[in-house]
Amino acid sequence: MSQRYRVAILGATGAVGTELLELLEERDFPLSELKLLSSPRSAGKSLTFKGQAITVEAVTAESFKDVDILLASAGGSTSKQWAQAAVDAGAVVIDNSSAFRMDPEVPLVVPEVNPDAAKAHKGIIANPNCTTILMTVALWPLHQVQPIRRILAATYQSASGAGARAMEELKTQSQAILDGKEPKPEILPHPIAFNLFPHNSPLKDNGYCEEELKMVNETRKIFGTDEIRISATCVRVPVMRAHSEAINLEFDQPFDLGKARELIAQAPGVQLQEDWQANRFPMPMDVSGKDDVLVGRVRQDLSHDSGLELWICGDQIRKGAALNAVQIAELLAQKQWLSPTTAVA
Average pLDDT over residues 125-131: 97
Residues in the chain: 345
Sheet containing strand 270-272, edge to edge, reads 197-198, 229-236, 148-157, 243-251, 307-314, 293-300, 270-272
Residues 6+ apart with CB under 8 A from 159: 166, 167, 169, 170, 188, 192, 236, 238, 239, 240, 241
Examine the pLDDT at 2 and tell me if it is beyond 80.
no
Residue 232 has phi, psi (to 5 degrees) of -140, 150
Examine the pLDDT at 345 and tell me if it is beyond 70.
no
Residue 247 in contact with residue 309, Cβ under 8 Å?
yes
Q: Domain ranges in the chain?
A: 5-127+321-335, 132-316
Identical topology for domains 5-127+321-335 and 132-316: no
Of the candidates 115, 1, 22, which has an alpha carbon nearest to the alpha carbon of residue 9? Answer: 22
Residues 49-86: tens digit of each pLDDT: 999 999 999 999 899 999 999 999 988 999 999 999 99
pLDDT grade for 41, boundaries at 50, 70 and 90:
confident
Assign domain 5-127+321-335 to its CATH architecture.
3-Layer(aba) Sandwich (3.40)
Assign domain 132-316 to its CATH architecture.
2-Layer Sandwich (3.30)
Residues 286-340: tens digit of each pLDDT: 999 999 999 999 999 999 999 999 999 999 999 999 999 999 999 999 999 987 6
Packing angle, helices 130-145 and 210-223, rounded to 10: 40
Residues 6+ apart with CB under 8 A from 180: none
Examine the pLDDT at 342 and tell me if it is beyond 60.
no
- What SS3 class is residue 148? strand
Of all residues in the chain, the percent with pLDDT exceeding 70 is 98
Question: What amino acid positions are annotated as catalytic residues?
Answer: 130, 243
Provide the strand spans (E) within the chain: 5-10, 31-38, 46-49, 52-55, 57-58, 69-72, 92-95, 124-126, 148-157, 197-198, 229-236, 243-251, 270-272, 293-300, 307-314
DSSP state at residue 125: E
CA distance 54 to 152: 45
DSSP state at residue 275: B
CA 6-78-134 angle, to 5 degrees, is 75
Residues 248-295: tens digit of each pLDDT: 999 999 999 999 999 999 999 999 999 999 999 999 999 999 999 999
